[in-house]
Amino acid sequence: LFPDESRDMKDSLKPIPCPETYYVNKDYLRQNEIKIYHSLPSTFDCCSECIDEFPNRIFYSEQAFQEERFDNYSKIKPNNYIDINGNTGEITDLWTYYNTLYIHTEDGLYKQPRNLQERQTNELTTYIGTGELFAIPPMKIIDDDGNSAGTSHKWGTIKTPHGVTFISERFNKIYNFNGKLNPISSLGEEKWSNKNIYLKANRSYNLAQGEDLPFYNNPNSPVGLGFTSGYDKENNRVIITKMDFSFDEFYLYNDFKVVQMDGRIYLFNEWNALVASQEDLGFTFKKIKDNKAIFVKEGELQEITYVDTLENGDTVTHKAYYPTLEEKEILPTSFSGIICRNGWTKSFDFRSNFWVSYHRYRNVYFETDSNLYSWNPKMTDIFKHQIPNKFGKFNNRFSSFIVEYTSRKNPFEISTWESIKIHAQATSHHLYGFNLLPKIFFTSFYTYNSYQLSNKAFLRVKEMGDDYLTNQVTDDYNNVKVDKDEEVWAINHLRDSLISPDTQMFDVSCPELFAKDKVIRSDSLIEKDWFEKTVFRDNHLNIRLFFDSEDESIKLTLKAVTELINKSIR
């Protein structure tokens, strides 16, 4: 009311209506509780085991620009994806080579071309097109219904200055891709690769149980399976390790389920019988969780009551019923069922374009800018490769330096072998250089062919002295005297000690031991008198040399070998 001073107060009062004003706190609006959902497409399968998983789909972000206000790499729009043909399996890896994207699936390798057209005019190259990455469908590198250079082992793929090296387990191949696909496993190792690249534990388990092992393609686990790769920059070689083992066939073809726990393999023996016995008690198998079998049982219905108040103040009582669940955990049997480990480690030299060595260690690799490191899942220490002036020690254990080669004069001619001459040099390395060690040589050796075998004898350097002539005629079964003339060592009088030509020479019960040490069977040899021993007679002779030392500063270099070979007079 506003008074009018020119008139009487009673007549000057005029009412003015003022509306009521309310302020709303938007934090308490009902709309904040509403969640927006999109309807499921007509092709959605509610019973699928891979809901919200797209194993053949690649998602990509928006293109980034300079001085952008937001990170476009973190923006992935709903339709920014492309689906790969699923007839070669799931996508396992993506990598680039010379600014081109390559897509690896289980059974195929695809190249993703860019939408560019090139025009060459004199010294000028012009690119015409949008440059869009997925405008053109990806193309197979090998257009084959079978072997298309796929891989399931991402951890075995490594990019080096010489290309991208990867393992195609399903086809028993190791490839190096440098614009062209080169099967490097076929370079002198094709037959060996066909027998030793595939993961034997998973294949035998899959044939027996119809499924892959739960730790397949997991080489970081102490009991895992798979491949890892590392690159040695100093020697220009790639190192590939296979983690594998062999199952006891007694358990393999019986009713069991396998899990791994605390770095060991455990088995649920008589698995189907276990499930049936729990079903008789009303329990149903639900899942394997934390390596335990989880069974559940529905109990009695339990009633829940809650009261809802209406706008007019009335109350409505609601009742709901749900079954109670009883859960039971069953631990596996504490037994591994593993016969032996049969993995391997080997290295490929890009300078010679050949496989150069097998290695004792079974490690997982990782690199820095200048160094190669590795570690064993069963150990806590990290091992550094190529430590200056350190040789023969890996994972804190000394390893033998083993050289095996095949001597052959004429493959169509039977020959005899009398002696071996070896040019080798031993050096002791230290901070200021190295010293020559003229009396250090290989410590042991043995020879064999298709039906003859010598014992593994220790090599003893002949010493000048009072007993020198006596040593010249001494026949010692476990020791062989070696001569040195200038820088060349000689091993003479090679003789056979195998019981009979049809005797099995080596222990092949565990393939890893055979590949690493080629262990001679203890019951295959016999100590013969000298006049009973025969020379090695065949079209070839395999010679295996060992150097064992616990001094990590000593390096033994093999420079050249030759043999005294005569034509057999038979």
Helix (H) or strand (E) holding 410: none
Task: State whether residue 73 is helix, strand or coil.
Answer: helix
d(CA 494, CA 545): 14
pLDDT reading at 153 higher than 60: yes
Strand partners, 506: 520
CA distance 302 to 306: 13
What's CA 76's distance to the chain center, in Å?
Answer: 32
The predicted pLDDT at position 175 comes to 95
Residue 466 pLDDT exceeds 50: no
User: Going by C-beta distance under 8 Å and a sequence separation of 6 or more, which residues neighbour residue 518?
Assistant: 404, 506, 544
Residue 445 scores a pLDDT above 90: yes
Average pLDDT score over the chain: 82
- Give the residue with greater pLDDT, 470 vs 89: 89
User: What is the percent of the chain with per-residue pLDDT over 90, rounded to a whole number?
Assistant: 27
Length of the chain as a residue count: 570
Q: Which one is predicted more confidently, 469 or 136?
A: 136
Amino acid at 124: L
Q: Output the six-digit token pair for 40.
A: 């499921």
436 vs 529, which has greater pLDDT? 436
pLDDT higher for 329 or 127? Answer: 329
What confidence tier does 164 reach under pLDDT thresholds 50, 70, 90? very high
| DSSP one-letter string for 138-169 | -EESS--SS-B---S-GGG-EEETTEEEEEEG
**pLDDT-derived band of residue 97, with 50, 70 and 90 as boundaries?**
very high
pLDDT of residue 216: 87
Q: Is the pTM of this model over 0.85?
A: no
| Model confidence pLDDT, tens digit, residues 470-523 | 555 555 678 888 888 888 999 988 889 999 999 999 887 765 555 567 888 888
Find out whether 77 and 117 touch, Cβ atoms under 8 Å.
no
Query: Cα–Cα distance between 266 and 262 in angstroms, integer?
Result: 10
Show the beta-strand stretches assigned E in 400-456: 401-407, 415-430, 433-436, 444-448
Please report which confidence band the pLDDT of residue 407 belongs to, taking 50, 70 and 90 as the band edges: very high
Query: For the residues 143-172, what does the mean pLDDT come to?
Result: 89
Place of tokens 């001094």: 551
Pair of tokens at residue 194: 């066909």
Q: What is the 3-state secondary structure (H, E, C) of 504-525?
A: CCECCCCHHHHHHCCCECCCCE
Write the DSSP string, 167-209. Answer: EEGGGTEEEEESSSEEEGGGSS-HHHHHHHSS-HHHHHHHHHH
Helix (H) or strand (E) holding 252: helix 249-252
In the predicted model, what is the mean pLDDT of residues 179-189?
92
> Averaged over 283-295, what is the pLDDT?
82
**How many Å apart are CA 251 and CA 496, to the nearest integer?**
41
Encoded amino acid at 479, one letter = N
Residue 366 pLDDT greater than 80, yes or no: no
Give the range among 173-187, 210-224, 325-339 with minimum mean pLDDT. Answer: 325-339
Query: Where does the pLDDT of residue 104 fall: very low under 50, low under 70, confident under 90, or very high at 90 and above?
Result: very high
Instruction: Label the pairing between strands 173-177 and 163-168.
Output: antiparallel
Q: How confident is the model at residue 1 (pLDDT cuts 50, 70, 90)?
A: very low
Closest alpha carbon to 320 in 331, 338, 329, 308: 308
> Who wins on pLDDT, 219 or 177?
177
Per-range mean pLDDT, top range of 263-267, 344-348, 359-363: 344-348
Residues 6+ apart with CB under 8 A from 527: 455, 477, 497
Please report the pLDDT score of residue 452 as a whole number. 93
pLDDT digits (tens, 9 = 90+) for 533-569: 889 999 999 999 999 998 999 999 999 999 988 888 7
Q: Give the pLDDT mean for 22-35.
A: 78
- The fraction of the chain above a pLDDT of 70, given in percent, is 85
Spatial distance between the Cα atoms of 225 and 244, rounded to a whole number of angstroms: 5
Answer yes or no: are the C-beta atoms of 373 and 365 closer than 8 Å. Answer: yes
Torsion of CA 468, 469, 475, 478, to 10 degrees: 10
d(CA 215, CA 338): 14
pLDDT of residue 50: 66
Give the separation between CA 410 and CA 508, rounded to whole angstroms.
30
- Specify the pLDDT at position 387: 82
Question: How many Å apart are CA 335 and CA 273, to the nearest integer?
Answer: 18
H or E stretch covering 129? none
Q: d(Cα 300, Cα 282) in Å, to the nearest integer?
A: 13
263 pLDDT band, cuts 50/70/90, is: low
Q: What is the mean pLDDT of residues 229-257?
A: 82
Residues 6+ apart with CB under 8 A from 468: 462
User: DSSP assignment of 347-395, as one string?
Assistant: EEETTTTEEEEEES---EEEE-SS-EEEE-TT-S-EEESS-TT--SEET
Q: Taking phi first (over 0 means left), then psi (-120 to 50 degrees means alpha), and beta for anything else, what does residue 140 get?
A: beta
The candidate with the shortest Cα–Cα distance to 414, out of 541, 563, 562, 543, is 541
Question: Residue type at 557?
Answer: T
For the beta carbon of residue 422, count every other beta carbon within 10 angstroms.
23
Q: Which pLDDT score, from 0 to 100, does residue 556 have? A: 93
Q: Is the pLDDT of residue 128 over 60?
A: no
Residue 10 vs residue 552, higher pLDDT: 552
Mean pLDDT of 410-426: 91
What is the rounded end-to-end Cα distance, in angstroms, of the chain?
A: 140
Task: Indicate whether 159 pLDDT > 80.
Answer: yes
Within 13 Å of residue 390, how many CA atoms lie on the same side as its CB?
12
Question: For residues 216 and 213, what is the distance between their CA atoms, to the nearest angstrom?
Answer: 5
Higher pLDDT, 137 or 468: 137
